[in-house]
Structure 1
Amino acid sequence: MRLAGLLLSAALCLGLVAPAAAAPAPVGGYQVVRAFAHDTAAFTEGLFYHDGFIFESTGLAGRSFIRKWSLETGAVEQERLIDSRYFGEGIVDWKNKLYELTWTNELGFIYDIDSFEAVGEFRYPGEGWALTRDDKRLMMSDGTSFIRFLDPETLKETGRIEVTDDGVPVRNLNELEWVKGELLANVWQTTRIARIDVKTGKVLGWIELAGLLKEAGVTGQRDDVLNGIAYDATGDRLFVTGKLWPKLFEIKLTAPSR
């Protein structure tokens, strides 16, 4: 067996035997568990679940806000409008703070998570699209195929990875969520969520959500695209929505078909 292995390695080096071809990541689906009402005026950019509430940020200049609202009743518990000079983007919580990106201003805002009072700002190069975190660092998308890692205390970049599927860069990475050791990312203007290994940048699998467009009563062909992922770790509940959608869905993932 050792000799056979050596011969195979030599053949590969000489180009006499082609290596096994890689393959695109498998595509899985979903089942709807429950639907909740969602504000159709919310141009969703950021979404996360925290202490029993949905925290959401929206875009569009003059219409951007951050909001805390109840899933069960839809009641808005806390809200802050963003200065009309800025197009709001993704948000994430860290300790007692909430961080928010803006699209093209290379400027982020820091708020007290309970009062939404502004307590600081931070800078970054390029565009800001989305934020999420694990227990050690923040992760940021900027519309490219790269994910940046940020120190949660200084907000400085500490590294980055390029996301690929079968060696091809996956661009337009948008809203992010950290779920069970994987990074989930909406791909802008598609109906798919990428499941990403943050050690390698490789897409482990895709979640195809095209069927949600009909259930939400949207076309997904204009501004009403899929965007927004939130995870309730305690209840093991995964939520998704889209820009200007009338519904937010709790879903269960299904395995790829073979």
Structure 2
Amino acid sequence: MSSLARIKQAARQTYQQLWYFNIPIVTPQIIAVYPHDPRAFTQGLVFEQGCLYESTGLIGESTVRRLSFEHAIPELSHPLEDHWGEGIACNREQLIQLTWQSQIAMVYRLTDLQPITELPYQGEGWGLASIDDGFVMTDGSERLQFLNHHFEVVSDVRVMIKGKPLRWLNDLIFANGSLYINRLSDHFIYQVSPLSGQVERIIDCSYIVAIEQPSGNEDVLNGIAFNQQQQQFIITGKRWSQLFVVTF
């Protein structure tokens, strides 16, 4: 079976499940496509002050970088030599990068990506987004942890679809009052209420995955940023060759 056929089959199966839950499903509109470093094991994206920042993973290959939309080569990059990089978020002129199992977040100056300090936390780090004056973090389960700017957990909520937990939550972004969340090995983005944890809408990215045609099992949809001024989302995947600017 071809990769495109597998994508369509998986989408049909998921559609059947979502139809049962009566969740609205929409397809993103592609506004623009830009090159992306196909070696980058993308773990997080964030758009801040007109620039796109990316966190990449794998031990010995993890980085935090500032990207150019016109070229696949990063404009600026800082290696994370001893840790596995995960999600990133911006707060107060700083860039914060999670690590997978090291239980520390790396804090960088936004302007030049130079390390400033480290912040400890408990458990695994997967996705990170800024929300209000703090952050929201995923750990691969169905749980969203809300943290203050000191990186202390102040509350949490479980993401649910009609009473059923939605596990394997990954990169995410807060935009216009909602959270938009990637899920590991899934072709969908989930619009979630940060207050209740309920899934309110599904964005079906199967068509975008089919355009990219990822070659490996690990090369999944992951990485979502939001351009507030343009009201556009930027999405990509692990080892993808393209960045997609979309609306939905």
User: Does TM-score exceed 0.5, indicating one fold?
Assistant: yes
Q: Using the alignment, how far apart are the partners of 2:132 and 2:194 within structure 1?
A: 14
SS at match of 2:75: strand
What is the distance in 1 between the residues matched to 2:22 and 2:41?
31
Query: Which residue of structure 2 lines up, in the alignment, with residue 28 of structure 1?
Result: 26
1:157 aligns with 2:144: no
Counterpart contact for 2:37–2:73, Cα < 8 Å: no
Match of 2:60 in 1: 62
Q: CA deviation at 1:123?
A: 1.0
RMSD of aligned alpha carbons: 1.4
| 1:136 corresponding residue in structure 2 | 133
Alignment of 1:76-225 (within 5 A): 76-83=74-81, 85-152=82-149, 154-219=150-215, 222-225=217-220
Give the C-alpha shift of residue 252 in structure 1. Answer: 2.0
Shift of 1:192: 0.6
Structure 1 partner of 2:9? none
- 1:38 CA displacement: 0.4
Q: Give the Å deviation of 1:53.
A: 1.4
The letter for the 2-side match of 1:195 is Q
2:231 and 2:247 in contact (8 A); partners too:
no
Q: How many residues align?
A: 229
Following superposition, the deviation at residue 236 of structure 1 comes to: 1.1
Report deviation, 1:74. 4.1
Please give the secondary structure, in 2, of the residue aligned with 1:215.
Answer: helix
What percentage of aligned pairs have identical amino acids?
31
Determine the C-alpha separation between the residues in 2 that align with 1:157 and 1:166.
26
| Partners of 1:115 and 1:89 in 2: CA distance | 19
CA shift for structure 1 position 198 = 0.7
Q: TM-score, normalised by structure 1?
A: 0.85
AA paired with 2:114? E
SS at match of 1:76: coil
Name the counterpart of 1:71. Answer: 69
Deviations 1:22-43 (A, max 9, x none): 9442211112111100000110
Q: Distance in 1 between matches of 2:166 and 2:213?
A: 28
| Partners of 2:65 and 2:78 within 8 A in 1 | yes
Per-residue deviation, 1:75: 4.9
* Residues 1:235 and 2:230 are matched in the alignment: yes
Instruction: Name the counterpart of 2:15.
Output: none
Distance 2:100 2:50 in 1: 28
Structure 1: 5+ residue stretches without partners: 1-21, 254-258
- Letter paired with 2:55: S
Any conservation in 2 of the 1:101–1:129 contact (CA below 8 Å)?
A: yes
* Alpha carbons 1:24, 1:165 under 8 Å: kept: no
SS at the partner of 1:213?
A: helix
When the two structures are superposed, what TM-score results if normalisation uses the length of structure 2? 0.89
Q: Max radius of gyration: which structure?
A: 1
Q: Is the 8 A contact 2:36 2:71 kept in 1?
A: no
For 1:27 and 1:34, the matched residues in 2 are separated by 22
